[in-house]
Amino acid sequence: MSHHIIEVTDLHHTYPDGTVALRGLSFRIVHGEAVALVGANGAGKSTLLLHLNGCLTPMAGTVRIGDFPLTRKTLPHVRRTVGMVFQDPDDQLFMPLVYDDVAFGPRNLGLPVEEVRGRVMSALATVGAAHLRDRPSHRLSAGEKRAVAIATVLAMSPSILVMDEPTASLDPGTRRQLIQLLVGFEHTKIIATHDLDMAFDLCSRVIVLNDGRITADGPTGAILTDEALLRASNLERPFRLQGCPVCSAASATR
């Protein structure tokens, strides 16, 4: 279906203070793909993500979400199709109660009360936070906040899910639960992350950004094993692909 295709053509962006963030990006993502966006800090990942749902406008180049080029008129539709989960859940949970936060999107869509309720409960159930419905946001733990943040986006029934560093500062157990949750999503997923092991688990394709340009775009297996490429972009192989320190120490002493 065409309305799940993201097409970015020669995207340029410069910030008001003069920093050049994106220097001509082009790529195409189809329905159901899970793409990891990796790169050093300052490579332009967050900037690119903000273009995908119209939070930033390109200086040059185009962004197309499905049938719609990103313009002021198509913005509301695009925002319904592309759900963005921000890095800091506190930026995303601004209503008094969890229920209100998850209901914020559906209510803005003008849905009737019963439908809003249905969407909220199903979104919360998906992330396993149904019992947090009446909790004030400031009384959630970090993991709970992240779960609810994802639910706030899910409630709008987007077809494309964009996430900025979803596993940052999560403890290992919570992280593992999040990965398992995301694996189950059928949405198109675009995830900016430093967590290369999660990228390895979750994503079939990797786009590497370096200094505002795409330096690589291909299957996960190929890219995340290419040491030279990764090191050039200030990255390294996922930890699980690096030699096991315990075994290699043991074999060295043998």
Partner 1 sequence: MALYRAGRGSDRLPARRFLETFTVASPGASALDIRYLDIISSRDTSIHRLDPRAKLLTTLAYIVAVASFDKYTVTGLVPFVIYPVVLIALGDVPVAYLLRKAMLAAPFALFVGIFNPLFDREVLLHVGSVPISGGWASFLSIMLRFTLTVTSALLLVATTGFNGVCVALEKLGAPKAFVVQLLFLYRYLFVLGDEATRLTRARSLRTFDGRGMGIRVFGSLAGQLLLRTLDRARRIYLAMLCRGFDGEVRQAGSLRFSKGDLVYTVWWLGLFILLRVYDITHLAGSVVMGLAG
We find the least distance from the C-beta atom of residue 9 to partner 1, in angstroms, to be 23
By CB neighbour count within 10 A (0-12 exposed, 13-18 middle, 19+ buried), where does 249 fall?
A: exposed
> C-beta of 57: minimal distance to partner 1 in Å?
13
DSSP state of 96: S
Q: Which stretch binds partner 1 (CB under 8 A): 9-17, 99-107, 204-212, 231-239?
A: 99-107
219: β partners: 205
Angle at 203 between CA 167 and CA 31, to 5 degrees: 115
Strand partners, 63: 8
Q: Which of 17, 41, 112, 139 binds partner 1 (CB under 8 A)?
A: 139
Tokens 């593992």 label which residue?
Answer: 176
Candidate residues 15, 76, 225, 232; the one interacting with partner 1 per rule CB under 8 A: 76
* 188-192, strands of its sheet edge to edge: 82-85, 160-164, 188-192, 34-39, 205-210, 213-219
* All residues at 6 or more sequence positions from 98 whose CB lies less than 8 Å from its CB, including other chains: 124, 129, 132, 133, 134, 135, 136, 137, 140, 148
Considering only 66, 105, 212, 238, the residue that binds partner 1 (CB under 8 A) is: 105
For partner 1, the closer CB: 169 or 225: 169
Give the separation between CA 171 and CA 167, rounded to whole angstroms.
9
Q: Strands 34-39 and 188-192: what pairing?
A: parallel
Task: Give the nearest distance from C-beta 124 to partner 1 in angstroms.
Answer: 10
Segment near partner 1 (CB under 8 A); pick from 34-42, 88-96, 193-201, 207-215: 88-96
Write down the least CB distance from residue 12 to partner 1, Å: 20
Subset of 140-179 contacting partner 1 (CB under 8 A)? 140-144, 146-147, 152-153, 156, 171, 173-174, 177-178
Number of other CB atoms surrounding residue 138 within 10 Å: 9
Residue 192 or residue 216: which is nearer to partner 1 going by CB? 192
Residue closer to partner 1 by CB (options 21, 216) is 21
Number of residues that bind partner 1 (CB under 8 A): 51
Least spacing, CB of residue 225 vs partner 1, in Å: 30
* Residue 191 binds to partner 1 (criterion: CB under 8 A): no
Q: Which residues pair with 38 in a beta bridge?
A: 208
Q: Is 118 exposed, middle or buried (0-12, 13-18, 19+ CB in 10 A)?
A: middle
> Which residues of the chain form contacts with partner 1 (CB under 8 A)?
50, 53, 55, 76, 79-80, 83-84, 86, 88, 90-97, 100, 103-105, 107-109, 113, 116, 127-129, 136-144, 146-147, 152-153, 156, 171, 173-174, 177-178, 180-181
